[in-house]
């Protein structure tokens, strides 16, 4: 799908963006877009001031937004809880792209990162994050936050400082548990000193990350800001990018004209939404236009309760209205949007936010960005939005996404491979899949034998009911029960079952796409960004998984943990 619909490597993406910039120059320089960008700059500045990331380069880019030659690149995401790398590397891709476009055109290029903080609290990744953990049930340690349902994220207060402390304790325990395991292996091979150096590096890396977390916590009042500030501090401070952040909840009021345009073309817009549902090639993708969408206003209206009104568009005597209920408290509302031919929503602009499909339509129409880096989950929406944009003469930039699985040797990945090696050696097999097959067939053999014993015991108990004084039958039942217990013991069923569980956890750990904490500790924040940038410049394939270096590489080599461990998965 990738090759046909969007660029599959960095070079192609760059070419597509260059063409788009050339074709769209007039639109970018239009008075309306220039005004929107200037308005956006004030919201950007407010965000970075509050976050504490108004760095000199951020300040320069804010000024650049008011330059009529400026090229804008865009991405957006919800303020995830300790986001995973897929969220943060969107900024890396735009950062590298911006440098190249600046070289090509010699004009200012701005990376814009929208924080979708008016989205509902229901998404899994704004409530939890995951770390690999071989010894824990399921192979995963997850940190969780309790937030009310169906609320806008920016209406939820930040968690208490006790939560912050408990996360820190959990993460430190996670590092220490895993370090304990690895230390034993290192001691056995005579690498105690090397391990001591490694351990202090891991703790130092965690310390740097936790400073960011505590600083973000202090600057934030709302939960969404806490998460967004962590993202901005990683990207702007630790990585030194000039990415500009804004809260969607604040900046969408800029787009009064763009929302008005969609309302003025509502009949076409509605029809195109119906068509978009049947778009060929998107059948297997998740998400996309809902059944009600063609009848809904392109925006939510914010309720005082923290929820949002879903508005159905109606027409009466040449005027448009939106009517509907708040999805949280159920209250009913009726809002006038003005004359059908020239709707005006300026009176309610500060209390609206775009629905999923029109989000890209108003941003692309209003700011004319030259690239949009999306996420996997939102891709169907973007393809459907593209269909609508093309027919409503709304500019639509080249789209891409970049979500490989980084392969690196972190603490848990190292323990996973050591566990796998230990079990394989025990079973005298070579690979994870062989070991799994071997254990599964042993378990099924044992269970078959135990099942047969249980079956004959049941049968004799039935017989005993008809012949209660049959002593030899009683003896036989006793003998079978003893034999059952002996079998469980001698077959090592509990050990074999535990080994299989461990192997499943090994598989989970090596396949997991963990949250940024795993990178911060094992790779280092800055080092992760540097390696991604280098990959984009030297390789640039946006679909391939690739290996990055971690602080464990040297010890890993000493322990015989080859980088090819992932290939057998």
Q: Which residues bind Zn ion (CB under 5 A)?
A: 303, 305, 307, 326, 328-329
Question: Which pairs from 54-63 meet CB under 8 Å and 24+ separation?
Answer: 55/236, 55/237, 55/240, 55/242, 57/240, 57/241, 57/242, 58/236, 58/242, 58/243, 58/244, 60/242, 61/108, 61/110, 61/111, 61/242, 61/244, 62/244
Q: Is 120 helix (H, G, I), strand (E, B) or coil?
A: strand
Q: How far is the CB of 293 from Zn ion (least distance, A)?
A: 21
Q: How far is the CB of 329 from Zn ion (least distance, A)?
A: 3
Which residue, 158 or 328, is less far from Zn ion as judged by CB? Answer: 328
Which residue, 87 or 326, is less far from Zn ion as judged by CB? Answer: 326
Residue 55, phi-psi category: left (phi > 0), alpha (psi -120 to 50), beta (remainder): beta
Which residue, 188 or 329, is less far from Zn ion as judged by CB? Answer: 329
Which residue, 270 or 323, is less far from Zn ion as judged by CB? Answer: 323
Which residue, 305 or 464, is less far from Zn ion as judged by CB? Answer: 305
Which residue, 288 or 307, is less far from Zn ion as judged by CB? Answer: 307
Which residue, 46 or 305, is less far from Zn ion as judged by CB? Answer: 305
Cβ–Cβ < 8 Å for 543, 8: yes
124 C-beta neighbours (distance < 10 Å), count = 12
Q: How far is the CB of 350 from Zn ion (least distance, A)?
A: 17
Alpha-carbon torsion angle 154, 156, 162, 167, nearest 10: -60
Q: How far is the CB of 307 from Zn ion (least distance, A)?
A: 4
Alpha-carbon distance of 94 to 113, in angstroms, equals 10
Q: How far is the CB of 116 from Zn ion (least distance, A)?
A: 20
Name the percent of the chain in helix, strand, coil, to the closest 5.
60, 15, 25
- Annotate 15-32 with three-state secondary structure: HHHHHHHHHCHHHHCCHH
How many Cα atoms sit within 13 Å of 159 on the Cβ side? 19
For residue 113, give the nearest of 16, 6, 282, 229 by alpha carbon: 229
Alpha-carbon distance of 224 to 208, in angstroms, equals 22
Q: How far is the CB of 436 from Zn ion (least distance, A)?
A: 51
Q: How far is the CB of 304 from Zn ion (least distance, A)?
A: 7
| H/E stretch holding 177 | helix 161-188
Which residue, 152 or 416, is less far from Zn ion as judged by CB? Answer: 152
Q: How far is the CB of 308 from Zn ion (least distance, A)?
A: 8
Alpha-carbon distance of 410 to 457, in angstroms, equals 50
Q: How far is the CB of 310 from Zn ion (least distance, A)?
A: 11
Which residue, 87 or 335, is less far from Zn ion as judged by CB? Answer: 335
Phi, psi of 257 (to 5 degrees): -70, -35
């Amino acid at each position: 799908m990738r090759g046909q619909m969007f660029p599959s490597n960095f070079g192609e993406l760059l070419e597509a963006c260059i063409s788009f910039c050339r074709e769209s120059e007039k639109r970018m320089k239009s008075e309306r877009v220039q005004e929107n960008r200037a308005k956006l700059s004030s919201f950007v500045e407010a965000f970075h001031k509050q976050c504490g990331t108004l760095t000199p380069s951020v300040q320069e880019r804010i000024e650049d937004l008011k330059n009529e030659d400026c090229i804008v690149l865009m991405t957006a995401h919800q303020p995830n809880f300790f986001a995973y790398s897929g969220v943060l590397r969107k900024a890396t891709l735009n950062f590298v792209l911006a440098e190249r476009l600046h070289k090509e055109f010699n004009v200012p290029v701005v990376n814009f990162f929208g924080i979708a903080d008016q989205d509902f609290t229901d998404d899994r990744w704004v409530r939890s994050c995951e770390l690999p953990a071989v010894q824990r049930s399921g192979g995963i340690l997850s940190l969780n936050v309790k937030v009310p349902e169906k609320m806008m994220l920016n209406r939820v207060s930040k968690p208490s400082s006790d939560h912050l402390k408990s996360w820190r304790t959990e993460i430190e325990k996670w590092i220490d548990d895993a370090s304990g395991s690895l230390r034993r292996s290192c001691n056995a091979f005579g690498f105690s000193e090397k391990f001591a150096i490694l351990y202090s590096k891991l703790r130092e890396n965690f310390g740097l990350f936790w400073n960011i977390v505590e600083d973000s916590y202090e600057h934030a009042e709302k939960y969404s800001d806490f998460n967004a500030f962590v993202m901005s501090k990683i990207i702007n401070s630790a990585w030194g990018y000039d990415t500009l952040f804004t809260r969607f909840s604040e900046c969408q009021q800029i787009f009064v004209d763009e929302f008005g345009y969609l309302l003025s073309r509502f009949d076409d817009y509605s029809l195109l939404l119906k068509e978009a549902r049947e778009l060929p090639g998107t059948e297997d993708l998740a998400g996309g236009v809902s059944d009600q969408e063609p009848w809904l206003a392109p925006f939510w209206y914010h309720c005082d309760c923290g929820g949002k009104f879903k508005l159905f568009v109606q027409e009466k005597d040449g005027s448009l209205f939106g009517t509907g209920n708040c999805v949280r408290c159920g209250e009913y509302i009726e809002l006038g949007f003005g004359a059908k031919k020239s709707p005006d929503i300026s009176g309610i602009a500060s209390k609206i936010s775009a629905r999923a499909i029109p989000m890209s339509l108003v941003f692309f129409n209003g700011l004319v960005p030259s690239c949009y880096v999306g996420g996997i989950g939102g891709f169907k929406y973007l393809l459907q939005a593209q269909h609508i944009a093309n027919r409503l003469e709304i500019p639509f930039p080249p789209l891409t996404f970049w979500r490989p699985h980084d392969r690196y040797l972190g603490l848990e990945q190292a323990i996973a491979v050591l566990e796998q090696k230990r079990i394989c050696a025990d079973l005298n097999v070579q690979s994870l899949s062989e070991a799994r097959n071997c254990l599964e067939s042993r378990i099924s053999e044992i269970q078959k034998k135990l099942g047969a014993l249980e079956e004959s015991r049941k049968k004799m108990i039935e017989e005993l009911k008809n012949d209660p004084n049959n002593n030899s039958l009683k003896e036989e039942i006793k003998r079978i029960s003893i034999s059952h217990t002996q079998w469980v013991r001698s077959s090592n069923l509990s050990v074999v079952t535990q080994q299989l569980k461990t192997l499943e956890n090994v598989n989970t750990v090596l396949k997991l796409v963990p949250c940024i904490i795993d990178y911060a500790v094992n790779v280092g924040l800055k080092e992760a960004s540097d390696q991604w940038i280098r990959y984009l410049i030297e390789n640039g394939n946006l679909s391939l998984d690739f290996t990055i270096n971690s602080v464990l590489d040297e010890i890993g080599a000493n322990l015989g943990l080859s980088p090819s461990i992932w290939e057998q998965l």
